[in-house]
Structure 1
Amino acid sequence: MGDLQQALVAYGPIAIFLGAAFEGQAAVIAGGFLAHQHLVTLWMALACAAAGSCLIDQALFLAGRRFRSTNFVIRTAQTPAFAKALGFIERYPVSYIFAFRYLFGLRMVSPIALGVTQIPSLTFALLNAASALAWATVFTGLGYWFGQTIETTFSRYKNVEHRVVVAAVVLAAAFVLFHLGRWAWPHLKARFQRAD
C-alpha cells in the first residue's frame, strides 16, 4: 500500500468531517468518491459528512443564541447575507433550516441568524440533524455515483496507484473549483446588479 493511499485511508474520514464542517459540498462529494474507491466505507463517508455539517451548524447556532453580544456575532449580523437569511427565516423558519445548506453565500451565517431568532434550541437541533443527514446523503451519493463514471473513464488503469492518484486529483479539483466559485460569485453578482 503506497504512502498516499495509506494517508487517505487513515485521514480520509477526518478530512471529510472537517471538509463538511468548513468547506461544504465539494468535500462531501470527494468523500463519496473516496468511498467508491474503497479508501473509506460509504457509511463512514456519510457519517463523517453528516456529523461535520451538523456539529458546526449547531455550534454556530449556539454562538448566535448565547454569545450575541460578542464581536464575532455582531460583525456577522451586520453583513447583507445575515439580513437576507433573517428575511427567509421570518417567512419559512422550518423550511429554511432544511434549505440553508444548499444556498450559496448563506451557509455560514444562517445558523447564527437562526440562533438570534425565537426558534427553540431543541427544534433547531432536531431539524439540523435531519437536514445534515439529508444533505450528506445527497452529496456523498453524488460523489459515489460519479465515482463510477470517473472509474469507467480511467478503466485502463487497473493498479492501485492510479486509482489513488485519480482520487487525489478529484479532491484537489473539487477544492479549487469551490474556492474559485466563491471568489468569482461576488464579482458576477456585482456585474449583474450594475446591469440592472
Structure 2
Amino acid sequence: MSLAEFITQYGALAVFIGAGAEGETAAFLGGIFAHRHLMPDWQAAAAASLGSFAADQLFFFAGRYASRLGFVRKFIASKMMKRVAHLLETYPTGFILSFRFIYGIRIISPVAIGLSSISPWRFLLLNFIAAALWGTVITAVGYLLGNAVEALFGRLRLHHHLLVALAAILLVIAFAAIIGRKYLSKASQGA
C-alpha cells in the first residue's frame, strides 16, 4: 500500500485522533491531504473539528470529575493554571471560544474550565462552535499552503510536499510560541 493509498483510507481517522492528541499539526496536514485530493476538504475539517471537540470535552470532564488523577493535579499545580484561570475569570466566553488558538494552553484550558463554575452545557455549546471554527480555519490554512507550495515549486511528490508542510508548521509553531508567551506574560502581570 502506497503512502497516498494509506492516507486516502485512514487519513480522516488520523486527523481526528491527531487533532485531539496534538492539535494544529494534524489539522494542518488534513488540509494538505485535502489539497492533494487524498480526502475531501469537508472531511478533513470535520475530522479535525470533531477530534478537537472530543478531546476538549474529555479534558473538561477530567477537570470537573477527576481532579484526583495525577495529570489533572499536575495541571492544577502548574504556574500556567493561574494564568489560564485569570483569563477564564476575566473573559469566560471569549476564552472558551479562543483558547485552542493560543499556543501552549490548549490542553490545560479545558481542565481549568472543568474546575470552574461554567456549566457543562455551556461549555459543550461553546466548545462545539470553537472546535468547528478552529478545524475549518486550520485545515483551510493547510489547503492554502498546499496551493502556495504547488505555485512555488510545482507539483511535488507527496513525501516532499509533506516535508515542506512540516517545515512550515514548525516555523508557525515557533512564532506562535514566542507570541503566546509574551501574551500570557502580559496577562499574568495584569493579574
- Counterpart position of 1:92: 91
Identity %: 36
Q: Which amino acid aligns with 2:105?
A: L
Question: Pick from 122, 146, 168: which aligns with 2:162?
Answer: 168
Contact 1:27 1:171 in 2 (8 A): no
- Is contact 1:27–1:174 with CA below 8 Å preserved after alignment? no
Which deviates further from its counterpart, 51-60 or 98-107? 98-107
For residues 27 and 100 of structure 2, what CA distance do their matches in structure 1 show? 12
Shift of 1:174: 5.4
What residue ranges of structure 2 are gaps of 5+ in the alignment? Answer: 186-191
Q: Is the 8 A contact 1:30 1:174 kept in 2?
A: no
2:162 counterpart SS class: helix
Partners of 1:23 and 1:93 in 2: how far apart? 24
Question: Could you tell me the TM-score, scaled by structure 1's length?
Answer: 0.83
Name the SS of the counterpart of 1:35 in structure 2: helix
Residues 130-160 of structure 1 deviation map (CA, whole Å, 9 limit, x = unaligned): 00001111111111112111112232x4xxx
Q: Give the secondary structure class of the aligned counterpart of 1:38.
A: coil
The within-5 A match list for 1:1-196 is 3-155=2-154, 157=155, 162-170=156-164, 172-173=166-167, 181=174
Question: 1:9 deviation in Å?
Answer: 1.0
User: Which deviates further from its counterpart, 82-91 or 65-74?
Assistant: 65-74
Distance in 2, Cα, partners of 1:167 & 1:46: 19
Change (3 A) 1:126 1:102: same
Give, as a single letter, the amino acid of the residue that structure 1 aligns with 2:158.
Answer: V
TM-score (norm 2): 0.85
Structure 1 residues 98 and 62 mapped into 2: Cα distance closer, same or farther (>3 Å)?
same
> Which ranges of structure 1 fall in alignment gaps of 5 or more residues?
none
Conserved in 2, the CA contact under 8 Å of 1:26 and 1:178? no
Within 1, Cα distance between the matches of 2:71 and 2:129? Answer: 27
Look up the match of 2:189. Answer: none
Change (3 A) 1:178 1:27: farther
Structure 2: how far apart are the matches of 1:76 and 1:29?
27
Instruction: Give a deviation string over 1:74-100, Cα, whole Å, max 9, x none.
Output: 111000111111001111111100110
Q: Which runs of 4+ in 1 moved over 4 A?
A: 174-179
How many residues are matched?
A: 181
Indicate conservation of the 8 Å contact 1:26/1:174, yes or no. Answer: no
Conservation of the 8 A alpha-carbon contact between 1:67 and 1:73:
yes
CA RMSD in angstroms, aligned pairs only:
2.4
Which structure has the greater CA radius of gyration?
A: 1
For 1:17 and 1:174, how far apart are their aligned partners in 2? 21
Range 11-20 or range 72-81, more displaced: 11-20
